[in-house]
A = this chain, B = another copy of it.
Amino acid sequence: MASPRATLADVAQTAGVDMSTASRVLRGDVSQRVREETRARILKVAEDLAYRPNSLARGLRTARTDTLGIVVPQLDNPVFAAAIRGAEQAAAELGYSLLISHREPGTTATTIAKLSQTNRVDGLLVASLDDDEVLRSDLAAAHVPFVLMNRILPGAPLSVVLDSRAAARRGVEHLVGLGHRRVAHLSGRAQGFNAAQRLEGYREGLEAAGIAFDPVLVATAGYTAEGGARAMAELLPQRPTAVLAATLVSAAGAMSVLHAAGWRIPQDISVAGLHDAPVARLLYPSLTTVMMPTEEMGRVAASLLVRSLAGEHPDPVPPLPPGDLIPRASTGPAPG
CB pair B52–A56 under 8 Å, yes or no, is no
- Quote the shortest CB–CB distance from A195 to chain B (angstroms): 21
| A118 close to B53 (CB less than 8 A) | yes
Bound CA–CA A284/B254 (angstroms): 12
Binds B, one of A8-16, A25-33, A76-84, A182-190: A76-84
CA distance A52 to B143 in the complex (A): 11
Which of A93-101, A131-139, A162-170 is near enough to bind chain B? A93-101
Binary per-residue interface labels of chain A (242-277) against chain B in the complex, 1 for a CB within 8 Å, 0 otherwise: 000000010011011001000000000000000001
Contacts A75-B100, A100-B102 known; 9 new A-B pairs at CB < 8 A: A2-B144, A5-B117, A5-B119, A55-B120, A56-B65, A57-B60, A76-B77, A88-B102, A283-B283
- The 28 listed contacts between A and B (C-beta, < 8 Å) are A5-B119, A5-B143, A52-B118, A53-B118, A54-B118, A54-B119, A55-B118, A55-B119, A60-B60, A75-B76, A75-B81, A75-B100, A76-B76, A76-B77, A76-B78, A76-B81, A76-B82, A84-B102, A99-B99, A225-B282, A252-B282, A256-B281, A256-B284, A256-B286, A259-B284, A282-B282, A282-B283, A283-B283
